[in-house]
Amino acid sequence: MTFGIHTEGPESLLSVGIDVGTTTTQVIVSRLTVESGVGNNKRQVTDREVLYRSPVFETPLCDHKTIDITGVADIVQQCFNEAEITAAAIDTGAVIVTGETARRSNATTLVEHVAKESGEFVAAAAGASLEAVLAGRGSGAAAHAAETDSTVVNVDIGGGTTNAAVFVGDRVVETRCCNIGGRLISFDTDGVVTAISPSIEPLLSEIGFEVRIGETLTENNKRQIADRMAACVVDLLVGPPYEPITESIAIGELPTASRSYDTVVFSGGIGALMGEYETQTHEKTVAYNDIGVELAAAIERHRTVHSWPVRSFGEHQHATVIGAGTATTQLTGRTQSITGQLLPIRDAPVVSVGAIDSIGTKKELTETLTAARDRGADLYEAMLQPDGEPGASNTPPLVLSIDSIGVLSYDRLNMIAASIAATYTEPTEPIVIALKDNCGKALGQTLQRVLPESQPVVVIDEVAVSDGDYIDIGEPIADDDTVVVAVKTLIFGE
Amino acid sequence: MSTPNTPTEPIDPDRLKEIIDRNPSRLGIGRSGPRPKTSDLLTFRADHGRARDAVWTRVSDDLIEELGLYRIQTAVADKDQYLARPDLGRSLSDETIESLKTDCINEPQVQVIVSDGLSSTAVETNSKDLLASLNDGLQQRGIETGTPIFVEFGRVDVMDAIGEELGAEACVNLIGERPGLATAESLSAYFVYNPKRGTPTAKKSVISNIHAGGLPPVEAGAQVAELLTEMLEKRASGLDLREDDRSFQK
């Protein structure tokens, strides 16, 4: 605790999670409790309570390539009405576009639209790895790994993708993702194939199936396909070595070392169906109109899965949306420095300067910082609009992230501030610095002394961000100095 | 603290390292029969020695001069009496009061005090960076500071007496903390608005754990400046400063 001799009471943030997946769209509203940690001055999220949980909606599509953005926005609005909240009351949260939806042509427009409509500080995010991690946090797998200090894999199987995240203790060590999901083949009520995702075609051709739209699949055919899909999921989790088919449908790099798991958790729509397998009926298969129920059954009967310590912590279908709504928010140390009314900042791209602890002179450091800025300008060329007016409200500032400052002396901070000033020569250009060390206020104060008054500066500390991350920085919560930082990873359609 | 031994043949060396790295305590140091290993015993005694030194040594005159501090002493005569009589560590003699009033700036907005407290080492290690950063912060906000004072044999509440005599609006006392075996270098900043002798602790604020391994002194300086600014704005310190927040619910 920094200020005051007594312990400060908790504060709360209203957080929203919106998951637009291949098959389903869900919304949750939760309350995050923020308190000072014991023995340090860092504010932490200490409790997460889900206040509202939407029904599972079918993701509205205009056609198989385009998401119905208005339809999604209507769902979100309907949920807000039911939860009795307004966009203005929302402090933080995330919209996550997952599975096949992330590959649709208008996915970027969708997240931006929904994020903007859903309150000031809702982060937009997509990408299989991030989804895997969020699902693991939402399902309870991450908490179980941390509590028992064991290795837990959360396997989130949705309509389009399977995203597994491996948690060891309180760390995420790897993700394993591939294109297996319950909505890759859809039927009508008579069992006639109405849609096949191109991502399932390698698997179908491997087992010698040529499924065409308009054909009817026999129960036996469905079973065979589902068994092959289940085998791929198992292979994804136990490899290497991986079967060629697994490699061909993998999303991103697959890990190069195999793992054994103390606990296996299944989540997502298929995870939920697996729990209900005993009561499965033909009607249900038809109700979903896809291969999902077959896939869930196939995974359940797979011999390897039988040998696994499978557990459930009560969250399946909603795992990702809960993760998105409760686990995407980071808080800074309460020691940042802010001038020039820059906040809130949205979608600011991060470029990593790296550790500067071995850099001793202003000249050298200015060169390093300038090189990082140039690299950032290249990296985010389209976004930063180089010929746009600097500081224009629609152009997010580039965030320089500095890992380790080295010896935190007064003289050294002066040198660093002077180098930053020398790097930003345009007097109205906003400067945004993210530090891993706890010296945000000192650096901010020093920068204010050396920079012209017109220059807006934001220094946040005790946050770890790097290349490829985008951050939103909210306004300080209460009259506390902590700001909400949402770190986003935007990766579309790998 | 000196680096302790790592145990021989741990079952899971990686996990053990994680646990040890997370905590400044002497964890997982192993043993020899029922006793600690010689090197650990020596480390422990060395750390204890350092803690004792922090209490028993004096802040060097060179440092006081370098920092441009005005030197005074409480009513305490020596270290033995300092430890035995906390009350005297808060009191000033009539002569000291007289010279304070003559030599120092009267009625400043902020009176900065540095006290040896229970760790001269803490003052030696941290005050230079802290004061530099604090002075910048106050200057940039246009806050008038008094003559910075060094108090030998000072307790936290000596700031009440000094502030009252000089008519300061607010005081900050940068004081060496009781040393422990993990660090002997920890400094704290105590604050009081409208200092008067006998002001209860509830009316005081603190920023603690200032040292290289805790809150870095240069960062602490900036935070101290900010808290002083807030105190002057709200004309309060301690619980009074935070009263409004407790009913806060968004």
CA distance A285 to A190: 11
Residue A8 has pLDDT above 50, yes or no: no
Q: What angle do CA B145, B150, B151 make, to 5 degrees?
A: 125
- The DSSP line for B85-141 is -TTGGG---HHHHHHHHHHS-SS-SEEEEEE-TT-HHHHHHHHHHHHHHHHHHHHHT
Tell me which residue in B18, B205, B249 faces A4 most closely, judged by beta carbons.
Answer: B205
The pLDDT assigned to A41 comes to 52
Q: How many CB atoms lie within 10 A of CB B153?
A: 23
Find all residues with CB under 8 Å of B54, minimum gap 6, and list them.
Answer: B118, B119, B120, B121, B122, B176, B179, B184, B185
Number of structural domains (chain A) is 3
Tell me which residue in A408, A437, A449 faces B136 most closely, judged by beta carbons.
Answer: A449
The pLDDT assigned to B143 comes to 95
Q: Quick check: is A249 in a domain?
A: yes
Instruction: Give the model confidence (pLDDT) of B47-56 as tens digits.
Output: 999 888 888 9
CA distance A440 to B215: 11
Answer with the residue of higher pLDDT: A22 or A340.
Answer: A22
Tell me which residue in A12, A410, A437 faces B132 most closely, judged by beta carbons.
Answer: A410
Helix extents (H) in chain B: 13-21, 38-56, 61-66, 79-84, 94-103, 120-140, 158-166, 217-234, 239-242
Tokens of A417: 């501030």
Among candidate residues B139, B147, B156, the one with its CA nearest the CA of residue B107: B147
CA distance B32 to B49: 23
Tokens of B217: 């002194």
Residue A154 has pLDDT above 60, yes or no: yes
CA distance B119 to B50: 10
Contact A136, A154 (CB under 8 A): yes
Instruction: Give the model confidence (pLDDT) of A190-231 as tens digits.
Output: 778 888 888 888 888 888 877 788 888 888 888 888 999 999
Q: Which domain holds residue A364?
A: 336-461
Instruction: Please indicate, yes or no, whether residues A201 and A303 belong to a single structural domain of this protein.
Output: yes
**B236 CA to chain A: closest CA distance, Å?**
11
Cα four-point dihedral sign A168, A172, A176, A179: positive
Among candidate residues A309, A312, A262, the one with its CA nearest the CA of residue A145: A262
Binding residues of B for adenosylcob(III)alamin: 156, 177
Residue A400 has pLDDT above 60, yes or no: yes
Instruction: Please indicate, yes or no, whether residues A93 and A147 belong to a single structural domain of this protein.
Output: no
Strand, coil or helix: what is A410? helix
Residue B6 has pLDDT above 60, yes or no: no
Instruction: Please indicate, yes or no, whether residues A91 and A52 belong to a single structural domain of this protein.
Output: yes
Residue A386 has pLDDT above 80, yes or no: no
CA distance A483 to A330: 9
Residue B92 has pLDDT above 70, yes or no: yes
The mean per-residue pLDDT over the stretch A395-421 comes to 90
Cα four-point dihedral sign B194, B195, B199, B203: positive
**A456 CA to chain B: closest CA distance, Å?**
16
With bands split at pLDDT 50, 70 and 90, how would you rate the model's confidence at B75? very high
CA distance B71 to B162: 12
Contact A252, A128 (CB under 8 A): yes
Cis ω before A241 (30° cut-off from 0): yes
Answer with the residue of higher pLDDT: A52 or B130.
Answer: B130
Asked if B238 and A3 come within 8 Å (Cβ–Cβ), the reply is no
CATH number at residue A27: 3.30.420.40
Asked if A409 and B218 come within 8 Å (Cβ–Cβ), the reply is yes
Contact B238/A at CB under 8 A: yes
Instruction: Give the model confidence (pLDDT) of A255-303 as tens digits.
Output: 888 888 999 999 988 888 886 644 444 444 445 788 888 898 899 888 8
Instruction: Give the model confidence (pLDDT) of B134-180 as tens digits.
Output: 999 999 999 999 999 999 999 999 999 999 999 999 999 999 999 88
Q: How many CB atoms lie within 10 A of CB A327?
A: 20
Which residues of chain A lie closer than 8 angstroms to B206, CB-CB? 4-5
Instruction: Please indicate, yes or no, whether residues A358 and A267 belong to a single structural domain of this protein.
Output: no
Among candidate residues A91, A8, A23, A21, the one with its CA nearest the CA of residue A51: A91
**B172 CA to chain A: closest CA distance, Å?**
13
**A131 CA to chain B: closest CA distance, Å?**
27
Tell me which residue in B136, B201, B219 faces A5 most closely, judged by beta carbons.
Answer: B201
CA distance A174 to A154: 11
Task: For residue B34, give Cα distances in angstroms to A41, A107, B20, B29, B37.
Answer: 39, 65, 21, 13, 9
Domain at B61-242, CATH from 3.40.50.11240, 3.30.70.20, 2.30.31.20, 3.40.50.280: 3.40.50.11240
Answer with the residue of higher pLDDT: A470 or A373.
Answer: A373
Phi/psi of residue A350, nearest 5 degrees: -105, 135
Instruction: Please indicate, yes or no, whether residues A65 and A42 belong to a single structural domain of this protein.
Output: yes
Report the amino acid identity of residue A390. P
Q: Tell me the residue length of chain B.
A: 250
The pLDDT assigned to B114 comes to 97
Asked if B250 and A91 come within 8 Å (Cβ–Cβ), the reply is yes
Instruction: Please indicate, yes or no, whether residues A118 and A39 belong to a single structural domain of this protein.
Output: yes
Asked if A410 and B221 come within 8 Å (Cβ–Cβ), the reply is yes
Instruction: Please indicate, yes or no, whether residues A165 and A301 belong to a single structural domain of this protein.
Output: yes
Instruction: Please indicate, yes or no, whether residues A304 and A155 belong to a single structural domain of this protein.
Output: yes
Tell me which residue in A6, A335, A444 faces B242 most closely, judged by beta carbons.
Answer: A6
With bands split at pLDDT 50, 70 and 90, how would you rate the model's confidence at B5? low
Instruction: Please indicate, yes or no, whether residues A292 and A400 belong to a single structural domain of this protein.
Output: no
Instruction: Give the model confidence (pLDDT) of A102-153 as tens digits.
Output: 666 777 777 777 777 766 555 555 667 777 888 888 888 888 998 888 899 9
Asked if B238 and A5 come within 8 Å (Cβ–Cβ), the reply is yes
Asked if B216 and A41 come within 8 Å (Cβ–Cβ), the reply is no
Query: Counting Cβ atoms within 10 Å, is residue A335 exposed (0-12), middle (13-18) or buried (19+)?
Result: buried
Instruction: Please indicate, yes or no, whether residues A292 and A431 belong to a single structural domain of this protein.
Output: no
Contact B219/A at CB under 8 A: yes
Cα four-point dihedral sign A76, A78, A82, A87: positive
The pLDDT assigned to A12 comes to 77
Strands A250-251 and A263-267 come out as unpaired
**A441 CA to chain B: closest CA distance, Å?**
6
Q: Quick check: is A306 in a domain?
A: yes
CA distance A481 to B245: 13
The mean per-residue pLDDT over the stretch B223-235 comes to 93
Which chain A residue has its CA at the smallest distance from B126's CA? A409
The mean per-residue pLDDT over the stretch A471-479 comes to 67
CA distance B211 to B197: 29
Q: Quick check: is A51 in a domain?
A: yes
Q: Quick check: is A486 in a domain?
A: no
Phi/psi of residue A180, nearest 5 degrees: -130, 130
Report the amino acid identity of residue A87. A
With bands split at pLDDT 50, 70 and 90, how would you rate the model's confidence at A481? low
According to the per-residue pLDDT averaged within each range, which of A197-206, A299-308, B22-31, B221-230 is highest? B221-230
- The DSSP line for A273-303 is HHHTGGG--HHHHHHHTBSHHHHHHHHHH-H
**B224 CA to chain A: closest CA distance, Å?**
10
Asked if A442 and B216 come within 8 Å (Cβ–Cβ), the reply is yes
Instruction: Please indicate, yes or no, whether residues A273 and A344 belong to a single structural domain of this protein.
Output: no
Which chain B residue has its CA at the smallest distance from A171's CA? B18
Report the amino acid identity of residue A140. G
Residue B98 has pLDDT above 90, yes or no: yes
Q: Quick check: is A483 in a domain?
A: no
Among candidate residues A139, A141, A126, the one with its CA nearest the CA of residue A171: A141
Contact A37, A20 (CB under 8 A): no
Q: Tell me the residue length of chain A.
A: 494
Find all residues with CB under 8 Å of A364, minimum gap 6, and list them.
Answer: none
Residue A335 has pLDDT above 50, yes or no: no
Which residues of chain B lie closer than 8 angstroms to A442, CB-CB? 133, 216, 218-219, 221-222
Instruction: Please indicate, yes or no, whether residues A379 and A341 belong to a single structural domain of this protein.
Output: yes
The answer to which of A75-89, A164-178, A312-326, A365-379 has the lowest mean pLDDT is A312-326
Residue B110 has pLDDT above 90, yes or no: yes
CA distance B38 to B141: 54
Strand, coil or helix: what is A386? coil
Strand, coil or helix: what is A350? strand
A151, β-bridge pairs:
A168
The pLDDT assigned to B106 comes to 95
Contact B22/A at CB under 8 A: no
Q: Quick check: is A475 in a domain?
A: no
Contact B11/A at CB under 8 A: no
Give the A-side interface with B, CB within 8 Å: 2-6, 8-9, 11-14, 41, 91, 149, 169, 335, 337, 408-410, 413, 437-442, 444-446, 448-449, 477-480
Instruction: Give the model confidence (pLDDT) of A234-259 as tens digits.
Output: 999 997 888 888 888 888 788 888 88
The pLDDT assigned to A363 comes to 92
> What is the residue-averaged pLDDT of chain A?
78
The pLDDT assigned to A394 comes to 58
